[in-house]
Amino acid sequence: MTPFLRFFSTLLLALATLFAGVAPAHAQLKEVPELKARVTDQVGMLDAAQRDRLEAVLADYEAKTGSQIAVLLVKSTEPEAIEAYSIRVTDAWKLGRKGVDDGVLLVVAPGNPSALRRLRIEAGRGVQGVLTDAKSKRILQDIIAPHFREQHFYEGLVAGVGAIATVLNQEAFPAPARTAEQEREYVSGKYLFFFLLFLMSVLMGTGVVWGIGLTRRRYKASGNSPGEFIVGAIIGGILSGGGRSSRGGSSSSRSSSSSSGGSSFSGGGGSFDGGGASGDW
């Protein structure tokens, strides 16, 4: 082995060890933060009040439509480009409903060099039909970026989220799931109603059978004994009293609603619901 070759191989070895040491450092990608809130701010772009307000807007939107929008603010996504990073985040966070895939993630990385880009909208599979790449780009460039240029981060995010929501509203997604409590109430209320209906029919059936028995006995006795007459009158009273009391109920509701007469008022505002008025008596 010539001295040159020896030198060369040593150099190769040295380079290899050097790269072996450096390569893991390159693989050290920015880690995905834990999903704790709809707004994750690792930069401190928003103050606490702004973050809470944005969080509330997003939570409200999710409660109303079922679609999930999350906002992630990180310092930078280096060494990855923002697209690669946001994909990893959405893989981990699994935004949107299962099967519907209606989650949207807005990532902002203000520390990124422009080659790795600073803004990204990641749309779930279910919303890609309406929130197309072109639309996402328009939202980023025309709506969010102008605010950010003026250092108005909160305004930019609110406007961006609003634009995303507007776009999502064009698609009819399944209604939001009932919360556990609503579901319980709905189910138990339904059963209770049918149980009462059943109870009622049983009571009525018994009353009818009893009534038939009474008339038969009356025929046999051929003549009303005062005792039977009283029982008959009681049954009759129960039956007609039921009718009367229900009517009484409606008249009492009349008097109670008259105090609020004309107060229930809905102005409309829908597209075909032009105008009009409401009132009760």
Residues that bind other proteins in the complex, under the rule CB under 8 A:
185, 188-189, 192-193, 196, 246, 249-250, 253-254, 257-258, 261-262, 264-268, 270, 272-281
Task: State which residue, 33 or 268, has the beta carbon closest to other proteins.
Answer: 268
User: Considering the complex, what minimum distance in angstroms separates the CB of residue 151 from other proteins?
Assistant: 43
Cα 186 to Cα 182, 194, 196, 281, distances in angstroms: 6, 13, 16, 30
Cβ of residue 278: shortest distance to other proteins, in angstroms? 5
Nearest to residue 165, comparing CAs of 280, 62, 55?
62
CA–CA separation, 192 vs 38, rounded Å? Answer: 38
Q: How many CA atoms lie within 13 A of 224 on its CB side?
A: 9
Residue 258 Cβ vs other proteins, minimum distance, rounded to whole Å? 6
Determine how β-strand 103-108 pairs with β-strand 39-41.
unpaired
Residue number, 114 or 250, with CB nearest to other proteins = 250
For other proteins, which is the closer residue by CB, 129 or 262? 262
For residue 182, the minimal CB distance to other proteins (Å) is 10
| Residue number, 188 or 215, with CB nearest to other proteins | 188
> Shortest gap between Cβ of 183 and other proteins (angstroms)?
13
Pair type for strands 39-41 and 119-123: unpaired
Hey, what amino acid is at 266? S
Amino acid at 177: A
HSE (side-chain half, CA atoms, 13 Å) at 142: 8
The minimum distance between CB 170 and other proteins, in angstroms, equals 22
* Residue with smaller CB distance to other proteins, 222 or 266: 266
Select 132 or 278, whichever has its Cβ closest to other proteins: 278
Burial class (CB in 10 A: 0-12, 13-18, 19+), 30: middle
Do 68 and 96 touch, CB atoms closer than 8 A? yes
Are 155 and 112 in contact, with CB atoms under 8 Å apart? Answer: no
Closest approach, Cβ 276 to other proteins, in A, equals 4
**Cβ distance to other proteins smaller for residue 9 or 240:** 240
What is the spatial distance between Cα 248 and Cα 264, in angstroms, rounded to a whole number? 24
